[in-house]
Amino acid sequence: MPYKLLFVCLGNICRSPSAENIMNHLVHQGGLENQILCDSAGTSSYHIGSAPDRRMAKAAGDRGITLEGKARQFTAEDFEAFDLILAMDRDNYGQILSLDPQRQYQDKVKLMCDFCRHHSLREVPDPYYGGPEGFNQVIDLLLDACAGLLETIQQEQLELPS
């Protein structure tokens, strides 16, 4: 049974699809496609059905990663469907947990930056209203966090050599 990851931001067009596609890239490089599955969602309904932001896609593309997918909204059913839910910032984290009033799934929800190995930011900043440097910063931050996340999953879940 594959280990299922869900990456969540506000609109599901910048940060969470980037994390999903970066993680898929790393999973593919490691030959783990049958063991780790990734998806992404947004806490809002602003962009349902939209492709990833073109500025985010350019920043990822500059590093050899293609952003694919269509935005969808996070639902309470996602708690059951996924093993680990990764919020990009504290607002997203709070909005996710607000759909779990009994705190039944609280242990499944983590902040993405908890897995960073080299960056010190505690949240993935939303680059939507900024310039190109913000999108590049997010990709660099997510490359670090996804690598740390994959290492953690390999050690704790898959029991594979890292």
Q: What is the rounded CA–CA span in Å between residue 145 and residue 139?
A: 10
- What DSSP designation does 74 have? -
Distance CA 39, CA 105 (A): 18
* 126 part of the active site: yes
Per the structure block, which two tokens stand in for 151? Answer: 């290492």
Query: Which residue among the candidates 9, 14, 113, 146 is catalytic per the annotation?
Result: 9
Angle between helices 54-61 and 132-153 (to 10 degrees): 60
Catalytic residue (one of 53, 78, 89, 126): 126
Say which of 15, 38, 72, 144 is annotated catalytic: 15
Q: Is 107 a catalytic residue?
A: no
* Residue 103 designated active-site: no
* First CA to last CA distance, the chain: 19
C-alpha atoms less than 13 angstroms from C-alpha of 145 in its C-beta half-sphere:
28
Catalytic residues: 9, 15, 126
